[in-house]
Amino acid sequence: MRIASKSREIEAALRESEQRLRWLASIVDSSDDAIVSKNLDGIIRSWNSGAERIFGYSASEAIGQPITLVIPQDRQSEEREILTRIRRGERIDHFETVRQRKQGSLIVVSLTVSPVKDANDNVVGASKIARDITEQKRSQELIVTLAREAEHRSKNLLANALATVNLSQSNSPQGLKQIIAGRIQALANVCSLFAETRWIGAELSAIARQELAPYSEIKGERTVIAGPQTMLVPDAAQAIAITLHELATNAAKYGALSTPEGQVRLEWSDTTDNRLRLRWIETGGPVAQKPARKGLGSRIIEQMIVQQKGEVLFDWRNDGLVCEIALPI
């Protein structure tokens, strides 16, 4: 009876052990990560389906081959260092490196390598888990790039806002407040266009429509916009937005938009030398007289355009002001 009972206990223990092994094998085989084992000579002894998917080699192709099969030539020394540490019984956690797929493409992986020991506690090999983090690293790099770009754009925007504040003057606090608010609103308007293109830039006609919208009438166009589709990078777009705001504000106070019959035409063309040629033409308003000294609006326009390595020319004609701008694009 005791022998039979002991035999049943052994059989039950064997079945339980076998079940555990099948369970572990199922976990290893179904893992999304590459799970590989190798001996101390770096020869692959096992290769799960995750390894097949990540590295492109089937188990039959990989088993029996050196693990350097998936290590780029310039990183072969890493394997010698890993095996040296494994022989000392050390574990390597989350080591980020680069590995090579069957077709030659490189991927970024996070490696965890553990020593495998026999019944006598001797290190006889290593188990390796490799997780493909290529997309994760790309996302991190993109976030860093976008953060740097946002920092650059924010500093540039604040610098432009500060410049408009410093150059703004008025005879009253309320007048100064309105002037500054208008210029900052022009910057805010163009920034809303940047959001639509993920900060690639803004289309010139959209900038023009935004800045001239308050001066357009339902009956009889006070403003005419004509020019090819032209995408401006953010720095240039901000400069043009402020420029058009200043020109429109001046026209509403003293120029063509100050009279019912006046009209403004904005036209532009881009040439083969990668320079934007933009003309602001006022007609039907008071005679344009060249000021005795340069006004604040003119100084702001010149500062904005010159910062973009452009040129500005003001022409005060009998039938209205003409402003010509040349800007690299």
**Structural domain spans, the chain:** 30-132, 173-328
- The CATH number of 30-132, from 3.30.43.10, 3.30.450.20, 3.40.50.300, 3.40.50.970, is 3.30.450.20
- With H, G, I as helix, E, B as strand and everything else as coil, classify residue 233: coil
Residue-level pLDDT at 300: 84
CATH number of 173-328: 3.30.565.10
* Global pTM value: 0.57
Q: Are 33 and 131 in contact (CB under 8 A)?
A: yes
Three-point CA angle 230, 233, 238, nearest 5°: 100
- pLDDT, mean of each 10-residue run, the chain (329 residues): 60 58 53 90 93 95 95 93 94 94 95 92 93 91 77 67 64 70 79 78 92 71 89 90 91 90 90 86 87 76 89 91 92
Q: Which amino acid is at 89?
A: G
CA 248/CA 214 separation, integer angstroms? 9
Instruction: Tell me whether the CATH fold assigned to 30-132 matches the one assigned to 173-328.
Output: no
